[in-house]
Structure 1
Amino acid sequence: MSVFGTTRDGLNRALRHFGVQVVRGHSDDPAIQPFLSARKTLTAARRAGISVEDYIDRYSAAPGATAESVDALLRLADLGEHVERVCEIGAGSGRYAARVIAATHPGTYEIYETAADWLPRLRSLPNAAVRPTDGHTLSATATESVDLVHAHKLFVYIPLVVAIGYIDEMARVVRPGGTVAFDVVNEDCLDDAMTKHWVSSRATIYGMISRSWLLDRLAQRGLSLLGGHFVPLSGGRTELLVFRRA
């Protein structure tokens, strides 16, 4: 069985109780990871009588994590009530997008998402502009053109080289004075409890990036750290890092 198949089957066993199944996206690129089926996730949330945001937070063992992440981003970035252009990578169900749009009222909200079945929901968001995606770059977004570019619960799952490529792209597209935000598992996330849990559960689906290395790399690209905020991840936590472009 392939690595994808092994990972998929393990995830599906864990998610069966919630009526959710992992399936392959429309891209054949092996660097693009599995995602949650829109139809099954929406159906399960409706049956539970809760929002998609609350449903995904709940099965991830992190109730309220979406709101917490967005609130931390807005507080650290001090974006105000209006920004002209926002870009999100891996918007998925749109749970982060909906909150950011409601708070900042962007004129354009660019979205890169490889999961075709979530696209109709994403296109229904106010001022959404779904961009063609290759799973590696932000090629449809001009250099220094966005006020905020962000990603959530994405770089913890994709291969390191793909995550680094996306982070470099975020540095490219953000305008001077703009904000870059994303969460990663780094050395500061790995406390003893989280490490023991991952070892005992053989949690092999998460990737890690060195915090100090990452900050140095982004500093070379004109990005300074505004602050960080730990947010829940199933079995542990990630750190949301927020940067300002000089």
Structure 2
Amino acid sequence: MSVKDRLQVGVNGVLRPFGVQLVRGFSTDPLISPFLPARQTIKRATAAGLSVGDYLDNYSSEPGATADTVSAMLAASGLSEAGAVGKVLEIGPGSGRYTSRVIMALRPQTYDVYETAPDWVRYLRGEFPELTFHPADGHTLASTGSSTVDLVHAHKLLCYIPFVTAVCYLDEMARVVRPGGTAAFDLITDDCMDSQMTKTWLAEPSRGAIYSVAPRDWVLQFMAQRDLELTGSHFVPLSGGRTELLVFTRR
């Protein structure tokens, strides 16, 4: 262990009772690297002559994937009429590529977000001054009241985090959505694991290592126990495979 590492361990030992720790400013950890840094991403999008959203579509999925995902989500939700939605909540909006399309389609009265990345929060504040930001702890929606949200959604987030953390978010989404409202999110379910995706992961194990796979039937049962009924699903392209968008309505 280097002197720097020993120092970090010692400082973190002092800070641990306060729930705080030091981390490196840059990490090559494959579990962290999929969440792209804002400055670098914006710079590359500009150099490519693309919006940040279009750049990310090309980088991690395929052109038009974001628009298709939002269209599928809204079609399954029944929340397609602009101005008829009171509150939307998005978990992990990142670049805002889904945010912008949902705002354009629904014109909600309020749009709340939970984002853990400070660099993307700064970017979002500049691009979307109408957003309401809440403190994000990475597993709850603590600032949002129960049964208060018309649409709560998350995209390209739950497939990257540990499944137990994803389950915490699913429980919270079920809590905050109102009766008749919609909860939507994408996961890598077992239905996503077709032969091509399996071949890709076997050929390049590092690709699969950054993802978390969820048991589809278990997720449906978990949501049903919280009065959420599946009303639609849609496969979404992902680098090295695909995710499944699941759309639920609260009974």
The normalised TM-score by structure 1 is 0.86
Deviations 1:138-160 (A, max 9, x none): 00111111000000010110001
- The letter for the 2-side match of 1:244 is T
Alpha-carbon distance in 2 for matches of 1:132, 1:199: 39
1:147 is aligned to: 150
Q: Identity over aligned residues, as a percent? A: 55
Query: Shift in Å at residue 65 of structure 1?
Result: 1.1
SS of the equivalent of 2:190 reads coil
1:110 is aligned to: 112
2:17 is aligned to: none
1:158 is aligned to: 161
Q: Could you say if the C-alpha distance between residues 194 and 129 of structure 1 is closer, same or farther in structure 2, counting changes exceeding 3 Å?
A: same
SS of the equivalent of 2:213 reads coil
Task: Within 5 Å, give how 1:222-233 maps onto structure 2.
Answer: 222-233=227-238
SS of the equivalent of 1:185 reads strand
User: How many residues matched?
Assistant: 220
Structure 2 residue 245 is matched with structure 1 residue 240: yes
The match for 2:202 among 181, 199, 202 is 199
Cα RMSD (Å) of the superposition? 1.8
Q: Could you say if the C-alpha distance between residues 88 and 211 of structure 1 is closer, same or farther in structure 2, counting changes exceeding 3 Å?
A: same
Deviations 1:45-67 (A, max 9, x none): 11111110110111114221111
Task: Within 5 Å, give how 1:151-190 maps onto structure 2.
Answer: 151-190=154-193
Alpha-carbon distance in 1 for matches of 2:168, 2:61: 29
1:214 is aligned to: 219
- The letter for the 2-side match of 1:56 is L
CA contact (8 A) 1:106 1:127 kept: no
Aligned structure 1 segments of 4 or more residues deviating by more than 3 angstroms: none
Gapped regions of structure 1 (runs ≥ 5): 2-21, 25-29
Query: Shift in Å at residue 127 of structure 1?
Result: 2.4
Query: Shift in Å at residue 232 of structure 1?
Result: 0.3
Query: Shift in Å at residue 168 of structure 1?
Result: 0.3
Alpha-carbon distance in 2 for matches of 1:92, 1:163: 17
Alpha-carbon distance in 1 for matches of 2:227, 2:124: 31
Q: Could you say if the C-alpha distance between residues 102 and 113 of structure 1 is closer, same or farther in structure 2, counting changes exceeding 3 Å?
A: same
Query: Shift in Å at residue 125 of structure 1?
Result: 1.4
The match for 1:130 among 125, 130, 133 is 133
Alpha-carbon distance in 2 for matches of 1:132, 1:40: 24
Deviations 1:156-180 (A, max 9, x none): 1000110000000000000010000
Gapped regions of structure 2 (runs ≥ 5): 2-24
- The letter for the 1-side match of 2:138 is G
1:49 is aligned to: 49
- The letter for the 1-side match of 2:242 is R
Query: Shift in Å at residue 121 of structure 1?
Result: 2.4
SS of the equivalent of 1:226 reads strand
Query: Shift in Å at residue 126 of structure 1?
Result: 5.2
Alpha-carbon distance in 1 for matches of 2:97, 2:61: 16
The normalised TM-score by structure 2 is 0.84
CA contact (8 A) 1:85 1:110 kept: yes
Deviations 1:65-108 (A, max 9, x none): 11111111011111021211000001000110010001000111
Query: Shift in Å at residue 23 of structure 1?
Result: 4.4
Alpha-carbon distance in 2 for matches of 1:167, 1:33: 21
Query: Shift in Å at residue 115 of structure 1?
Result: 0.6
- The letter for the 1-side match of 2:250 is R
